């Protein structure tokens, strides 16, 4: 496995990081950039697509221009965040999304001793230790787990989308109710929303699914109709426009394909009390999660399923059925690192 490890101080006063030096010993043959110039950091960021695993934890002055890596297809990116008095694990996880990474090393220093938490994008803790050997082991495990994902290709395309009534505004209103109830327990609302296009072309192939799904990197609590992407699914996922659909689109288009009576889905990153759970945890967008879900979905008036270590799915054939499902439901917060072990 080709590994790139970048750390230390960059800029006018370059300095090597002891963490990078010691951690690199557990990744034989890794390419190391441990402190250097801003130009060297820029070159590393632009050239990282050739690596399967990238650890990116440089320290750069706020006066200097920042450079961030763009990982290659199928690669895994670990970023870092130093936890000081005003920074929390939630701030560390936010770094993952900012950098389009897979996990973060949250670093704390107590009595001159570093401790590390390896946390994935859904807040699951893979390691918490001062032992760099254990940390390296869990980094490899998380990398292997991520690279084992079953993916459906997602491609920008052009196609005729069947315009028709989807009751999108009503679905957005219901999603806001769900989001408000979820945030009432003190958690930030993440997730996505989708709906099947109910008006079809007369000659449309039966194995084609058209949906509207919320795009990536928008506030899922305050969605508007402009925050949705038009998607077609046959053998792979195609989308219109410049904005990519949610990373969970592969799961949802397959729900619509295999369960013809389901027309609406709301997904969030919490749990709903009293609802069944899937048995295994998979990365977002991994088709193995759909296989788990399919065992619990009901192709009738709708229902709710909790995804272990991930969140919930609310699904329905009609919006009045979804309104019934959300009345009186109670959320449970997914506390960071306090669930079933990832491995």
From residue 267, alpha-carbon distances to 27, 149, 189, 320 in Å are 37, 20, 10, 17
pLDDT at position 340, please? 59
- Rounded to an integer, what distance in angstroms lies between the CA atom of residue 219 and that of residue 170? 17
The number of residues making up the chain comes to 343
Alpha-carbon distance of 193 to 228, in angstroms, equals: 9
Q: Which residue has the tokens 């709906």?
A: 195
Q: How many CB atoms lie within 10 A of CB 58?
A: 26
Closest alpha carbon to 278 in 187, 340, 219 = 340
Q: Which helix (H) or strand (E) holds 6?
A: strand 3-10
**Separation CA 314–CA 307 (nearest Å):** 11
| Percent above pLDDT 70 for the chain | 95
For 208-222, give one letter per residue: b (16+ CB within 10 A) or e. ebbbbbbbbebebbe
Token duo for residue 175: 């999603």
Structure tokens at 280: 């295994």
pLDDT averaged per 10 residues in sequence order, the chain, 343 residues = 96 94 95 96 95 96 90 94 84 90 92 91 93 96 95 93 82 94 84 84 64 90 92 94 95 94 93 94 94 87 92 95 94 75 53
**Residues facing residue 15 across a β-bridge:** 9
How confident is the model at residue 200, as a pLDDT?
55
- Taking the domains of the chain in order of start, what are their residue ranges? 3-147, 154-332
User: In this predicted model, what pLDDT tens digit does every residue of 114-138 receive, in sequence order?
Assistant: 999 999 999 999 999 999 999 999 9
| pTM score, whole prediction | 0.89
What is the CATH number assigned to the segment(s) 3-147?
3.40.50.10300
Q: What is the pLDDT of residues 254-298, one digit of tens each?
A: 999 999 999 999 999 999 999 999 999 999 999 999 999 999 998
Residue 71 and residue 77 in contact, taking contact as beta carbons nearer than 8 Å: yes
- CB 194 within 8 Å of CB 212: yes
Buried b (16+ CB within 10 A) or exposed e, 300-336: eebbbbbbbbbbbbbbbbebebbeebbeebebeebeb
What superfamily would CATH give domain 154-332? Class II aldolase/adducin N-terminal domain (3.40.225.10)
Mutual orientation of helices 249-258 and 287-294 as an angle, nearest 10°?
40
């Amino acid at each position: 496995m080709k590994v790139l490890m970048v750390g230390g101080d960059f800029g006018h006063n370059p300095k090597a990081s002891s963490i990078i030096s010691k951690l690199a010993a557990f990744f034989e043959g890794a390419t190391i950039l441990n402190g250097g110039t801003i130009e060297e950091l820029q070159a590393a960021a632009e050239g990282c697509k050739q690596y399967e695993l990238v650890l990116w934890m440089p320290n750069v002055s706020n006066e200097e221009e920042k450079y961030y890596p763009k990982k290659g297809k199928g690669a895994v990116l670990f970023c870092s965040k130093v936890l000081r008095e005003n920074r929390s694990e939630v701030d560390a996880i936010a770094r993952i999304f900012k950098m389009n990474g897979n996990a973060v090393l949250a670093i704390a220093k107590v009595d001159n001793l570093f401790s590390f938490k390896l946390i994935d994008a859904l807040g699951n803790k893979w390691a918490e230790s001062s032992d760099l050997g254990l940390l390296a082991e869990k980094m490899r495990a998380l990398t292997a787990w991520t690279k084992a994902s079953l993916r459906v290709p997602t491609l920008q395309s052009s196609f005729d989308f069947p315009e028709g009534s989807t009751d999108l505004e009503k679905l957005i209103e219901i999603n806001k109710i769900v989001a408000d109830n979820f945030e009432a327990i003190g958690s930030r609302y993440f997730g996505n929303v989708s709906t099947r296009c109910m008006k079809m072309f007369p000659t449309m192939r039966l194995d084609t699914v058209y949906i509207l799904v919320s795009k990536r990197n928008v506030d899922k609590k305050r969605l508007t109709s402009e925050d949705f992407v038009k998607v077609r699914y046959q053998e792979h996922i195609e989308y219109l426009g410049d904005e990519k659909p949610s990373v969970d689109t592969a799961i949802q288009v397959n729900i619509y394909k295999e369960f013809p009576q389901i027309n609406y889905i709301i997904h969030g990153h919490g749990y709903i009390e009293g609802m069944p759970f899937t048995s295994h945890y998979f990365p977002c967008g991994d088709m193995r999660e759909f296989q788990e879900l399919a065992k619990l979905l009901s192709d009738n008036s709708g229902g709710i399923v909790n995804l272990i270590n991930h969140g919930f799915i609310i699904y329905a054939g009609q919006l009045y059925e979804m309104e019934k499902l959300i009345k009186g439901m109670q959320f449970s917060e997914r506390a960071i690192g306090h669930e079933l072990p990832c491995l």
